[in-house]
């Protein structure tokens, strides 16, 4: 992950507290993203060209092959960078106060949350609307199962599978299958996996 990054959305270093709820410029950026998401989610699924145009204007970048099923929600959009052949099923939520960088050939199942934002443990500062953000990075050829939550600062390596319902609150290496709350590696991916037909078994 990058160190000492001045976040283009918050204008502060990632990991430091900032005012997310009373800063007029930040609120305006969030409002524009919410309007774009509303327009995207309201379009008929057959309006593929229009939906793609909204995503192109909303996201930081994306590859040529891009599918995001409605509904989709994000905070800013401009901090989301998607690789080639990206697919996300219904109800993807990305809170992108910090960068969310996703590699090529990533598949995301329904009801997944990717959250870069967190709040102070101290209730007084939390009530003041302060928060922090930490970037999230997901490598190439990753499959994220349904109902997964990914928390601030996490990196997931290449070729990894995250089992459904997992709470990912720590880095997960490449070439593994990981699942649970908290998410833990249960085994490494093997060549035998390419020959298997009983994909429902871990």
Q: What are phi and psi of 132, to 5 degrees?
A: -130, 165
Other CB atoms closer than 10 Å to residue 82's CB: what's the count?
24
Q: Which two tokens stand for residue 58?
A: 């909303």
How many CA atoms are closer than 13 Å to the CA of 186, on its beta-carbon side? 13
Is-catalytic flag, 119?
Answer: yes
Burial class (CB in 10 A: 0-12, 13-18, 19+), 191: exposed
Contact 10, 133 (CB under 8 A): yes
Question: Which positions ≥6 away from 45 have C-beta within 8 Å?
Answer: 51, 70
Q: Which two tokens stand for residue 25?
A: 């410029």
To the nearest 10°, report the CA torsion of 12, 16, 17, 19.
10
Sheet holding 167-168, edge to edge: 72-74, 92-95, 113-115, 149-150, 167-168
**Which of 73, 90, 119, 200 does the annotation list as catalytic?**
119
Residue positions annotated with a catalytic role? 119
């Amino acid at each position: 992950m990058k160190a000492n990054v001045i976040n283009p959305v918050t204008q502060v270093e990632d990991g430091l507290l900032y005012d997310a709820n009373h800063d007029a410029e930040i609120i305006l950026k969030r409002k524009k993203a919410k309007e774009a998401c509303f327009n995207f989610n309201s379009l008929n699924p057959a309006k593929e060209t229009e939906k793609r145009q909204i995503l192109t204007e909303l996201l930081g970048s994306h590859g040529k092959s891009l599918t995001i099923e409605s509904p989709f929600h994000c905070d800013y959009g401009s901090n989301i960078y998607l690789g080639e052949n990206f697919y996300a099923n219904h109800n993807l939520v990305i809170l992108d106060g910090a960068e969310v960088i996703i590699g090529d050939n990533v598949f995301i199942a329904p009801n997944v949350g990717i959250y870069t934002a967190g709040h102070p443990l101290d209730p007084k500062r939390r009530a003041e609307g302060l928060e922090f953000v930490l970037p999230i990075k997901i490598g190439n050829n990753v499959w994220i199962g349904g109902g997964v939550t990914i928390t601030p600062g996490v990196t997931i390596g290449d070729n990894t599978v995250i089992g459904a319902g997992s709470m990912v609150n720590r880095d997960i290496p490449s070439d593994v299958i990981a699942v649970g709350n908290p998410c833990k590696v249960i085994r490494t991916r093997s060549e035998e996996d390419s020959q298997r037909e009983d994909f429902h078994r871990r």
